[in-house]
Amino acid sequence: MKKKLVLFLLLLFPIQVFAYSNTLIVTGEPIGIEIHSNGVYIVDFYSNLNSSLKKGDKIISINQQKVESIEDLDQIVTDSGTYSIQIDRNQKIINEKLVVEKENNEIRTGLYIKDEVDGVGTLSYIDPETKIFASLGHEILETSSNSLFDLNRGSLYEVYDESIQKNRNGRIGEIRVNFTNHVLGSIESNQVNGIYGLYQETLPSDHLVEVAKKDEIKLGEAYLYLNMENQEKKYQINILDIDKNETVKNIYFEVTDDSLLSKTGGIIQGMSGSPILQNDKIIGVVNYVVVNHPKTGYGVFIEDMLEEGDKLLQS
């Protein structure tokens, strides 16, 4: 009777098994990020022609024809008139009208629109078994509405001509790069704790680092592992607090390494995704800077990122 009861309980509460590896490829190198939306976002207006629409609205169809890109919109809206459109506003589908004028043979909608976002981050890890990669440690937002950018497709790019703009006078600095045409992988998912995808290049044969469990992480000395201006180096930080109840701001730390402070002034844009190491294990990645005190920042647990990345295999 007991055996039957145990079996029944296991069927009710299945054990979840994750496929990610115990060791990861960790390079700390900067990468270019380009993602395309599932629809066309309205980001601003240059006239009041369509005043019922709002910043952050996402156009998903026009005259019952699906719109995934600006190119789709241009192929549908070819003349003046009133078009029926469907928009996604805060995850609610709304039917609206789009008024279009034609002036000097130029189509005018009164809208500024976009269908892609690009930027710079740091490669957090590559799983050597599955080739799943992650970066940023936070989501990519559609800034006019501050909502999660609805990803259709994206690419990870190799970069060159890297330079550092240091934090100065209350302004957060940045890593500046140019993108090559060399695609390193496909971006498949944009989530609250990072972007995830499949790496398509030959994997490095070194840079293997063990994964630390949350319970192994301690206050005190740790390191950021960065490849900045073609120089790989560990930079010392001090972990000040660990919060297992937060969604993404799990590791609060301060940069204490004089060489990094001299180079960047602390955490700068483009460092999102930088691996955090402690006792030669990866414990998390950098995801936020404290703007009014940029020597300090936050990181997300590596275990949570790995679990999110593992969903790509399950899907």
Query: Catalytic site residues?
Result: 138, 257, 272
Q: Is 23 helix (H, G, I), strand (E, B) or coil?
A: strand
**What is d(CA 274, CA 188) in angstroms, rounded to the nearest whole number?**
20
C-beta separation of 132 from 199 below 8 A: yes
Structure tokens at 78: 């070819």
H or E segment at 307? Answer: helix 302-314
**What is d(CA 120, CA 266) in angstroms, rounded to the nearest whole number?**
17
Concatenating the DSSP letter of every residue in 241-274 gives EE-SSSSS--EEEEE--HHHHHHHSS--BT-TT-
**What is d(CA 58, CA 77) in angstroms, rounded to the nearest whole number?**
16
Residue in 136, 162, 158, 140 with CA at minimum distance from that of residue 149: 140
82 secondary structure, DSSP code = E
